Structure 1
Amino acid sequence: MTNNRPDVVEALPLMVADPPAVPEACRGRLVERARWQWHPADGGDPAARTEDFLAAHGLRLHDLARPATRHDPDGVCGAALYVSAAAGALLAGGAPGAANPADLPEVVAVVYGHTAAAPARPYPPAPWWRGTWTESWQPRQHAAAVTAVREAIGRGEVYQVNLVGHAAATYTGDPLPALARLGQLPGARYGGVLTGPGWAIGCASPETLIEVRHGTLTTRPIKGTRPATVAGRVDLLASAKERAEHIMIVDLERNDLARVARTGSVRVDDLFAVRRWCDLWQAESTVRADVADGLGLADLLRAVCPGGSVTGAPKLAALDRIADLEPVGRGASMGALGWVGHDHLDLGLTIRTAAVDGDAVHVWAGGGITWDSDPDAEVAEAAAKTAPVRATLGGDHGRRDAGHHRRPIILPT
């Protein structure tokens, strides 16, 4: 466990703090006050410990139905919060899956205050070079996993399972500018970067896992993908397979929210709306509910993590299939990353996300598998989803500068 108090702030990253969902008025003028990180070996309930840590630093989230209403410009602004897919599975009581391929914590909370001017980087970024991607599974292995899910559906064990693949590449130089570019991709509602000792996460997610504002819970599950062409939009809207897959996840999200909502308040405000992310159309719905009295952050995380659109239905049975079939853990992907303020909470689901540790840059992508899924089409869809992320990470694959040495992601602590 890492718990950096304010008296060691000078050992933390000297860079502009830019996690996803930061209030626009505060972007570019945040300074880190305290940090808490959790690994499974630390033990304890990570949801409860996160809530307690934030409360100890002025963010009291024990009753989200009665949030604070004052944003103190001279005090704590809010906190970035990250929960991995594996941590979410543990909170849900499900199988955590294969080991994390990246050297990352599973839960991170970083408390920020305001500063008049963001601290400057202590050195200019070293030129970024990325090697060739190494896949966690080949297309035939991915297709075989799709077939295995269809067989499980045929046996009545599950209705839908989201399968995710992974790729890694070695690198040299400073990864932060490349990760920051992800947040500028079209449709990146949760664009931003979170860093820590020896690691960094860059997010370009369009999907809301959970938002809490003015007593309302909101989730926006995404399920259904086509190329962003006129024909692709028509095909997505007409697809009975995509609509059935989508509605299955909407029902799952309705049930998740019902666990922490005021009785009878769950509703679907927008069903199967088509949104654009980069060069893809995706189907998105909006599910809302009224916050139940006494709902705290810990119970909210237990109810919504991991997100239903990246697990499947029923959620626990889908997690079992995921643990059996995926050869590499989901790491920074398919989890939660966003902002917790005094009066609101906004967490994106970490699809379209990359992570960097001391050895490699990592990316993930996948899709939901139903009885009607075609294995080859599912492999192609995953490739289409990860292509913009990989292209944005760039890198000179053919040349290394002889004087080019890797810089650390952050200053040593």
Structure 2
Amino acid sequence: MVHAQGSGDHSPVPPLGAPPAAPTACRARHHALRVFQWYRSDSGDPAELLTGFLAANGLAVRNLGRSADKSRPDGHSDICGASLYVSADAGCVMINATSGAASPVPVVPDVYAVVWVHAGRGAPGSPQHETGWQLGPWRASWTPEQHADAVEQVREAIGRGDVYQVNVVGHACAPYVGNPTAALRRVAALPGAKYGGVLGDAAGRWALATASPETLVEVRDGRVLTRPIKGTRPATAAGRRELLASAKERAEHVMIVDLERNDLARLPGTGPVRVDELFAVRRWCGLWQAESVVSAPLDGDVGLAELLRAVCPGGSVTGAPKLAALDQIAAREPVGRGVSMGALGWIGHDHLDLGLSIRTVAVDGTRVHAWAGGGITADSDPQAEVAEAAAKAGPLRAALEMGDTAGT
């Protein structure tokens, strides 16, 4: 069953903070008009159902290469755009790939879209405080030894020729009491969080916050592009030199760039795909990461459903070949990816901008959940991969614990 809600029948979704990738001019003016949600257990094609919902609400998602008139069929001319979240599981459904284990936060829909209109600045709602916020001890879904064993099993699969690269992701959760809003906003405000933002439902049953630096897909000014990130080192001068000199990291990165080139090339209505930038080093919190830019012109009609099927789940968090990598992920990861490793961002009248939901956390009323991992190649060292995942999770945990009035 697909759930679509209108503000005339349901309470509006309160903005917990700026939605991910929302235009700066719209900040603090969001009021939810309608909501769409789809769960893995629901029937139907989520890509087509989502496209139909957004198109019916005045967004030009059947032809993303053109700008749309900002007027709405029902007379709401103040619509500013829509927030969109698509889980990795939903991406698997869209391409008929193997889905992973069940999500540890099943209350969160696998597809969630909010159509926003402008309200008075600062409305609706009032500032929320973090009175009594307390975070309990973290519990990982696997031990470091089990994580390292999963890495070794992937290396064996690579040695057999089953795959070339697989991204392995771990999960951890911690109990909490109190209002998590300020903690989520701290996550969204981490340095380098290009897609920093917070999204949640009207009933307060769940919320997610992202500090993602990675562009899964962007459509703007007649071009479609992706910015895969692969390769990590500490953000020191020595770390930067080591990242640039690492043959292993560069080979892993180039493999994903080739995968993303293939993903964009499969899109109908696109021209020649090119690599605009290769292995540029950027900073996220205390880490250096390598990023490339891959793009193509939109020469014909490209709809949202086709775009999501081409890029989801993201190549940099799956592996190559993508379908074989997803088989390995389903076999190795004991806990589902939940809100992580999916798509999260904004659909406007003249552009689409979706980040990859890495560096993303979720709350479900009793626990906070976080995920981290990395790409595995034949040359990967299992202990180093465990350490890299911990380094990526570290800033998220620190942001969540900062306001803990009881300590951890």
Normalising by the smaller structure, the TM-score range is: over 0.9
Q: In the TM superposition, what is the alpha-carbon distance from 1:16 to its structure 2 partner?
A: 5.3
Q: In the TM superposition, what is the alpha-carbon distance from 1:382 to its structure 2 partner?
A: 0.3
Q: Which residue of 1 aligns with 2:5?
A: 4
Q: Which residue of 1 aligns with 2:33?
A: 33
SS at match of 2:289: strand
CA distance in 2, matches of 1:263, 1:383: 39
Q: Which residue of 2 aligns with 1:107?
A: 111
SS at match of 2:65: coil
Q: Which residue of 2 aligns with 1:86?
A: 89
Q: Which residue of 1 aligns with 2:212?
A: 205
Q: In the TM superposition, what is the alpha-carbon distance from 1:292 to its structure 2 partner?
A: 4.2
Alignment of 1:307-386 (within 5 A): 307-386=314-393
CA distance in 1, matches of 2:14, 2:65: 36
Mean Cα displacement is larger for which, 257-266 or 49-58? Answer: 257-266
- Give the alignment's Cα RMSD to 1 decimal: 1.8
Unaligned runs of 5+ in 2: none
Deviations 1:348-400 (A, max 9, x none): 00000000012210000000000000000000000000000010011677849
75 and 133 in structure 1: CA distance in 2 versus 1, 3 angstrom threshold: same
Alignment of 1:2-401 (within 5 A): 2-9=3-10, 11-15=11-15, 18-68=18-68, 70=70, 74-102=77-105, 103-117=107-121, 118-121=123-126, 124-196=129-201, 197=203, 198-260=205-267, 262=269, 264-394=271-401, 399=406
Q: Which residue of 2 aligns with 1:406?
A: none
Q: Which residue of 2 aligns with 1:404?
A: none
Calculate percent identity across the aligned residue pairs: 61
Verify the 8 A CA contact 1:185 1:278 in the aligned structure 2.
yes
CA distance in 2, matches of 1:66, 1:263: 13
Deviations 1:55-89 (A, max 9, x none): 11111311112231658994211000000011111
CA distance in 1, matches of 2:83, 2:236: 36
Deviations 1:75-131 (A, max 9, x none): 211000000011111112211100000131100010000012312338644321111
SS at match of 1:147: helix
Q: In the TM superposition, what is the alpha-carbon distance from 1:309 to its structure 2 partner?
A: 0.1
CA distance in 1, matches of 2:390, 2:348: 35
SS at match of 2:21: coil
CA distance in 1, matches of 2:402, 2:137: 9
Verify the 8 A CA contact 1:81 1:337 in the aligned structure 2.
yes
- Number of equivalenced pairs: 399
Q: In the TM superposition, what is the alpha-carbon distance from 1:342 to its structure 2 partner?
A: 1.0
SS at match of 1:65: coil
382 and 123 in structure 1: CA distance in 2 versus 1, 3 angstrom threshold: closer
TM-score normalised per structure 2: 0.94
Q: In the TM superposition, what is the alpha-carbon distance from 1:33 to its structure 2 partner?
A: 0.4
CA distance in 2, matches of 1:48, 1:71: 23
Deviations 1:294-319 (A, max 9, x none): 21001100110000000000000000
Deviations 1:238-261 (A, max 9, x none): 000000000000000000000115
Q: In the TM superposition, what is the alpha-carbon distance from 1:41 to its structure 2 partner?
A: 2.2
CA distance in 2, matches of 1:262, 1:38: 28
CA distance in 1, matches of 2:343, 2:352: 12
Verify the 8 A CA contact 2:58 2:70 in the aligned structure 1.
no
CA distance in 2, matches of 1:296, 1:288: 17
CA distance in 2, matches of 1:337, 1:105: 13
Verify the 8 A CA contact 2:87 2:341 in the aligned structure 1.
yes
Q: In the TM superposition, what is the alpha-carbon distance from 1:17 to its structure 2 partner?
A: 5.2
